Amino acid sequence: MLFEPVRIRSLQLTNRIVMAPMTRSRAIERNIPNALMAEYYAQRASAGLIITEAVSPSPNGLGYPRIPGLFTAEHVRGWSLITDAVHARGGKILIQLMHTGRVAHVANLPADAEILGPVDGVCPGEMYTDALGLQPFSPARAMSEQDIAQAVDEFAQSAGLAIEAGFDGVELHAANGYLIEQFLNPNVNQRTDGYGGGIEGRNRFALEVTCAVAGAIGADKVGIRLSPYGVFNGTGAFDDVDAQSLALCAELSALGLLYLHLLDHSAMGTPPVPEELKAQLRSRFDGPFILAGGFDRVTAEAAISEHRADLIAFGRPFLANPDLVERMRAGAELNAPDMSTFYTPDAKGYTDYPALGA
């Protein structure tokens, strides 16, 4: 079943294999996508669906070095190179919109940008900067309700630009400790107003962003990625994580979204998302369901045949194997990824991995 065509809402896909979103840091000039990035994505167009690396809808969300943006005409032109290249090879491609929020350093941001988060404070840990090397995260300012409204609007405007740039839809990144999950997670979100204080308040920002984006481009072009039990960027599990996730799922389901994308980080050593919660989210979301996290061909096929998911997302295997679909279909050996080149600025470890027969 993994290699069979499937239709999800408005999209006809050639197979059930999804290229997961993965930061690659190749937008070297003013966070503008470029021809090298177009080559990278085109190489992987045999995936049933490509979800791009995380892309900021705002200058304030460019917390990492060289991550791409989508909020200017230059960005639209750059992304159009990529969507054209993928579509020319018969692929489908969504853009993942991610605001880094407090996961940022001022050296990575444009001069007029500001680091914002649900509350005042500093994300624990360090981050790389091109100018200064490894640095502690910079302090974030707590967002006012006006700031929140502006961020919601930025997501919606960026989604509109995504359609202008030729994307087949967008995925909202509500995982891995970035801005949307910063509001979802009470280990970060200590607000006591209408955007915190309990399940309904913590879910509010995610739902407002999703509704605004769906209103801008149509709900059947909007997916969302969640990672309950994730620990990245100072998040981590909390007492009512299951109840909150299920409440959020119910609200998202009612919108008629393109899909729900659930990420389990346990293959990287973090606590697993309980199988019971995965099953409950699967059953309560009325629409296509994607699972991600440590799958290979055998486990992916099992998840689909057992109706635990409609599609399976693969991350690092796609970094090193532009022809991953063909390799898995043939049972061929996979190239090993070179971690030292994951976030470097050039073609090495990006577009130079060999295809079968090369």
Q: Which of 35, 19, 57 is nearest to 212 (CA)?
A: 57
Backbone angles phi, psi at 96, to 5 degrees: -95, 120
Sign of CA dihedral 324, 326, 328, 332: negative
**DSSP track, 216-247:** HH-GGGEEEEE-TT--GGG----TTHHHHHHH
Could you give the CA distance from residue 210 to residue 204 in angstroms, rounded to a whole number? 10
Q: What is the token pair recorded at 97?
A: 């919109």
pLDDT 10s digit of each residue in the chain, 358 long?
A: 999 999 999 899 999 999 999 999 999 999 999 999 999 999 999 999 999 999 999 999 999 999 999 999 999 999 999 999 999 999 999 999 999 999 999 999 999 999 999 999 999 999 999 999 999 999 999 999 999 999 999 999 999 999 999 999 999 999 999 999 999 999 999 999 999 999 999 999 999 999 999 999 999 999 999 999 999 999 999 999 999 999 999 999 999 999 999 999 998 888 999 999 999 999 999 999 999 999 999 999 999 999 999 999 999 999 999 999 999 999 999 999 999 999 999 999 999 999 997 6
178 is catalytic: yes
Contacts of 24 (CB under 8 A, 6+ apart): 37, 40, 53, 342, 343, 350
Backbone angles phi, psi at 50, to 5 degrees: -100, 130
Instruction: Classify the phi-psi angles of 25: left when phi > 0, otherwise alpha if psi is within -120 to 50, otherwise beta.
Output: left
Q: Which of 44, 37, 40, 42 is nearest to 18 (CA)?
A: 44
Q: Classify residue 357 as exposed, middle or buried by CB count within 10 Å of its CB (0-12, 13-18, 19+).
A: exposed
Which residue is catalytic, options 40, 41, 178, 229? 178
| Helices 35-43/73-88 angle, 10° precision | 30
Contact 71, 117 (CB under 8 A): no
